[in-house]
Structure 1
Amino acid sequence: MTSHSARHRLYEDAFALLVGTLLVSTGINLYSRVGLLTGGTAGLSFLIHYLSGLPFGLVFFIVNLPFCYFSMRRMDVRFRRKSLIASALVAGFSMAHPYMVQYERLNLFYSAMLGGVLMGTGFVVLFRHDASLGGVNVVALFLQDRYGIRAGKLQMAVDSAVVLASLFIVKPIVLLASLAGAVTLNMVIALNHRPGRYTGA
């Protein structure tokens, strides 16, 4: 985590939370429109959303609750507070996007890659301001800070496993596009969020 001397100011954190969650929720909206999947708790939320018809934002927030409990026990107060706000913002933006943005035509693979870039960039913005969206992100950041395990690589492995678990639910072409999106998302994180590269100053 960032040291006290390098902490961002309140308005910087607030703006970063808005930008990061807006990027992530836009990527989620693209995925939802074409029926794509992703990894982590978002992937589980997509599966429940597709199978039940429940709003993605509501499902995402509920699925993240156990990981919020983990963060309460393992992470500092600032991280917990900002992560909870970020999760709520993504849930809210995800429910608002369909009313704000309409797509006439979307290519499956282009949506997967663009959505992956948007979500990956959003995650990096949140990570650099000591926040996450709960779920695998919290565990990945904890292990990176404690043991030096790269967050991007760990999340890529988990995300790929979740997407592969959806093999019997989606068509092979959708699964292939979803895997491409998961790799893109985590490449963005792995290349742009490394210990020591960014100090938060």
Structure 2
Amino acid sequence: MIKNPFLLYRKIIRLLNLIFLRPFFKKYGKGTRIEQAYYFTPQYIQLGKKVLICKNARIEGVNVYEGIKFNPEIIIEDNVSIQQNLHLTCANKIIIKKHVAIAANVTITDINHPYKDIHIPIEKQPIEYDLVEIGEECKIYNNAVILPGVILGKHCVVAANSVVRKGIYPDYSVIAGIPGKIVSQYVDNKWTKK
């Protein structure tokens, strides 16, 4: 008799990941687990060791858009935890460094759909892109949006429902709001409100 069917289910999913998914990724680290992905382009994705990606994640490298070619690179380093419903799209480069925790319903993109020509539908206009980098040990809370050109330093927090726009955010910062601003930062051995 099976004592805990949930544990058996997780072991089966882990085994299926290893057998069927691993060969298609640029890199698929030991102990990595993907649970019920929604949509992936594994040929552009590098996963470090012990990465957890929960259900309904969309992690997509965009290699062609409106006839323009791109070379997307998605790097997720060791011990990253991603909860359900991540929406990540990349035409250039997105790096999520070690020990990052991403809560549910987060959007991360290095792509912008500009609205320049009123005679062309927005989705048909050429996209713009910029590097996104999330530093080690960051925590991204529920429903946050990380946009092109964002570079988060080490151990940053992005508050729930925040929209973080292009900029460099230093280590040990707490970012909140729409648009996201630094509301607190650890400097000289103390927390300082901004």
- Identify the TM-score tier after normalising by the shorter chain: under 0.3
Looking at both structures, which has the greater relative contact order when contacts are Cα pairs under 8 Å and sequence separation is at least 6? 1
Which is higher, the Rg of structure 1 or of structure 2? 2
